[in-house]
């Protein structure tokens, strides 16, 4: 099951974020999950594209990484 259709419908109702904003936020919130699962659910075919263009660092996760050191 791919979330692209659901996100597309949601993005159509929001002028603020648009399709790519929803897709980036969706992927970023799921970056702690296995990349293969996120790719499958989100409809990505390329791991590099998912991780470089759609997932971004956030202060909470960076802090958790630093706390593990």
Domain range summary for the chain, segments of one domain joined by +: 4-67
When the pLDDT of each residue in the chain is averaged and rounded to a whole number, the result is 80
More confidently predicted of 48 and 61: 48
**pLDDT given for residue 65 in this prediction:** 82
Encoded tokens for 46 = 């390329």
| Contact predicate 11/19, CB 8 Å | yes
pLDDT tens sequence across 29-43 = 898 899 999 999 988
Residues 6 or more apart in contact with residue 4 via CB below 8 angstroms: 42, 43
Mean pLDDT of 14-27: 77
User: How many Cα neighbours within 13 Å face the side chain of 30?
Assistant: 19
User: How many Cα neighbours within 13 Å face the side chain of 1?
Assistant: 3
| Contact predicate 28/58, CB 8 Å | yes
More confidently predicted of 28 and 7: 28
Binning pLDDT at 50, 70 and 90, where does residue 67 land? Answer: very high
């Amino acid at each position: 099951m791919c979330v692209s259709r659901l996100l597309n419908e949601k993005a159509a109702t929001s002028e603020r974020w648009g399709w790519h904003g929803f897709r980036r936020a969706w992927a970023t919130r799921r970056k702690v999950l296995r990349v293969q699962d996120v790719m499958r659910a989100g409809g990505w075919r390329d791991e590099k594209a998912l991780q470089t263009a759609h997932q971004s660092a956030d202060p909470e996760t960076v802090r958790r990484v630093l706390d593990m050191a």
